[in-house]
Amino acid sequence: MNMNTRRFLGTLALAASSLATAFAADPAKPIRVACVGDSITFGAGVEMREKNNYPKVLGELLGEKYEARNFGRSGATLLKQGDLPYWKTKEFEGATAYQPDIVVIKLGTNDSKPQNWEKHKGEFGADARALVAHFQALPSKPKVFVCLPVPVYETKWGINEPVVKGEVIPILNEVAKEMKLPTIDLYTALTGKPLMFPDKIHPNAAGAKIIAETVAKALAAK
């Protein structure tokens, strides 16, 4: 472990401890972090997925005062009328029942598919607001973070960079600004790293680690 990495982890540990103090109504209970998302959250394409998916790594970075759970569903859309709405999945039900203290939403990649975006892009902003509002209304009153999707290095399965970068991300930024939500810029964090995307859509374990580190840093900063 080099000096920069050691310094980053030390700073992160201190910040995470401060965040834990701020959130913990009951110090005996871990702070529950719900990682809501699609296949990138689930860990598709990640070597040794159960060990290296980003929510798992995130929990390790945050430490024992936290519990991060993976509620990623491959193929899920944020759009309620998409071809696989996150709203209709067991992962959505699980994240809701979990009563999280923090929710990290990473959706939008699958929404870029033509069958989703061309028909329903006008609904994307409203559906994003509704998803945030759903979690904010839970009895646990979680703090919600909105992730900007990772880059798309090759159009595949209909997922494409022009829509993700040019339309999805601006709408998510607008929603976050309107609702006074913190954003987590995964797009910038993984820009210029095509080798971490073996199939050009899903990051590998190294990419998942960058996602976890970026999310951890954002949580600690708030």
CATH of the domain at 214: 3.40.50.1110
Grade residue 146 by pLDDT with cuts at 50, 70 and 90.
very high
Domain range for 192: 3-221
Phi-psi region of 63 (alpha: psi -120 to 50; beta: other; left: phi over 0): left
Strand, coil or helix: what is 37? strand
Is the pLDDT at 15 greater than 70? The verdict is: no
Structure tokens at 97: 């029942």
Is the pLDDT at 97 greater than 80? The verdict is: yes
Strand, coil or helix: what is 144? strand
Rounded to 10°, the helix 3-23/54-62 angle is 80
Grade residue 129 by pLDDT with cuts at 50, 70 and 90.
very high
User: How high is the pLDDT of residue 221?
Assistant: 84
How far is 216 from 59, CA to CA, in rounded Å? 9
Rounded to 10°, the helix 3-23/205-221 angle is 50
How far is 32 from 4, CA to CA, in rounded Å? 29
Structure tokens at 68: 């991060």
pTM of the model: 0.89
Averaged pLDDT for residues 172-192: 98
Count: domains in the chain: 1
